[in-house]
Amino acid sequence: MEQKIAILGAGSWGTALAVTLSGKGHNVSVWDIDTNHIKTLASDRENKKYLPDVMFNDKIILNEDVEPTIRDADVVLFSAPAQHFRSALEQAGPFLKKEMVLVNVAKGIEQKSLLRLSEIAYEKIPGVNYVVLSGPSHAEEVGKGLPTTVVAASKDEKLAEYIQDVFMTDRFRVYTNSDVIGVELGGALKNIIALGAGISDGMGFGDNAKAALMTRGMKEIARLGVELGAELLTFAGLTGIGDLIVTCTSVHSRNRRCGVMIGEGMRPSEATKKVGMVVEGMYTTEAAYQLAEKHKIEMPITDQIYAVINETVDARDAVTTLMTREKKPEIADIIQYCHPVEGA
């Protein structure tokens, strides 16, 4: 099933997916807002800046303009950072057709509006054919063809199955899910916990601390997610615990790497700059903090990471605050989510 795929955003993830899709036989066109970057990709046939040693084949076309990239596309894939998704959608808008399927692979929450990216898409293009592709998937491994499994989520089951067919290979397995809210929130909020895991590693706190942070962090993610309309079980899947594990433990994780430098004593702004790419967790932490305040959801780990990256609390003091909170049973609120108690 050869399709024409337009990819907007030529960072590491957009590049890895371009290589994967073109390797399956699809015709792939790639555009990026940085014209010089596109020119370099066209001449090198490789993304030396963001994904080195992964070569392009002849089915990948590099375009300096949006219109020819999108023209006659079956699928338009957005791989711009979450905070730039709205502007990328606006640039593409005049050239999008009703029958095109929009796939978003960014993970985040828009800071000012506190909207999920699907909410922005439906706001800008009512009735859009929208699918989110998410899961534990570092570009560095996907680009090299290492086994990876993700989820295609859409309110329309047929759309999710279509994208499953378009993307799936013997090295890139795709499941489907109808819980767009849960899939998007799992992908966005895990970056907060990955920052925390990195900070913990940077302070030398070991595996026990990180395991607890990840486990309790997933509880916070699920707590906010269910309040916002997600399915609890989604957070037990690939886009929940799966993505959390890989982002909190991998050497490829920008969020964890940024956290490590903060834990070692570097200022958050300096650590972000040193990473050299967008650290989505820095934006998502602030958005999640505001959402928790708005919905009166208890998220103590998020609260402390928010304070640390805003330099109002020292990282070691944040750990002490978390470790000395009031005593409580472990799974009480999980039971409440599964079996709501009136007035609880």
Q: What is the mean pLDDT of residues 326-339?
A: 68
User: Does residue 117 surpass a pLDDT of 80?
Assistant: yes
pLDDT for 338? 53
Q: Give yes or no for a contact between 299 and 307, defined as CB atoms under 8 angstroms apart.
A: no
Tokens 């890139």, located at residue: 172
Q: Give yes or no for a contact between 90 and 118, defined as CB atoms under 8 angstroms apart.
A: no
Average pLDDT across the chain, whole number: 94
- pLDDT tens-place string over residues 214-273: 999 999 999 999 999 999 999 999 999 999 999 999 999 999 999 999 999 999 999 999
Could you tell me the end-to-end alpha-carbon distance of the chain, in angstroms, rounded to an integer?
Answer: 51
190 among known catalytic residues: yes
- pLDDT tens-place string over residues 147-194: 999 999 999 999 999 999 999 999 999 999 999 999 999 999 999 999
Tell me the C-alpha distance between 284 and 279, whole Å. 9
Catalytic residue (choose from 24, 59, 107, 190): 190
Tokens 């929009």, located at residue: 102
- Cα dist. 64→38, 40, 41 in Å? 6, 11, 11
pTM (predicted TM-score):
0.94
Identity of residue 59: K
Q: What is the mean pLDDT of residues 78-101?
A: 96
Q: Give yes or no for a contact between 1 and 165, defined as CB atoms under 8 angstroms apart.
A: yes
pLDDT for 329? 87
User: Does residue 342 surpass a pLDDT of 80?
Assistant: no
Q: Which domains does the chain have, with CATH numbers?
A: 4-178 (3.40.50.720), 181-338 (1.10.1040.10)
Percent of the chain with pLDDT over 70: 96
User: Does residue 343 surpass a pLDDT of 50?
Assistant: no
- pLDDT tens-place string over residues 85-94: 999 999 999 9
pLDDT for 204? 96
> Phi-psi bin for 16: left (phi > 0), alpha (psi -120 to 50), beta?
alpha
- pLDDT tens-place string over residues 293-306: 999 999 999 999 99
- Written as six digits, the tokens of 121 are 């898409």
- Cα dist. 61→15, 45, 175 in Å? 12, 10, 28
Q: Give yes or no for a contact between 101 and 74, defined as CB atoms under 8 angstroms apart.
A: yes
Percent of the chain with pLDDT over 90: 94
CA dihedral defined by 112, 115, 116, 120, rounded to 10 degrees? Answer: -100
- Cα dist. 253→34, 119, 170, 344 in Å? 24, 26, 24, 38
User: Does residue 1 surpass a pLDDT of 90?
Assistant: no
φ/ψ of 327, rounded to 5, equals -70, 145
293 Cβ contact list (under 8 Å, min separation 6): none
Q: What is the mean pLDDT of residues 27-56?
A: 97
pLDDT for 332? 64
Q: What is the mean pLDDT of residues 319-344?
A: 70
Tell me the C-alpha distance between 44 and 129, whole Å. 34
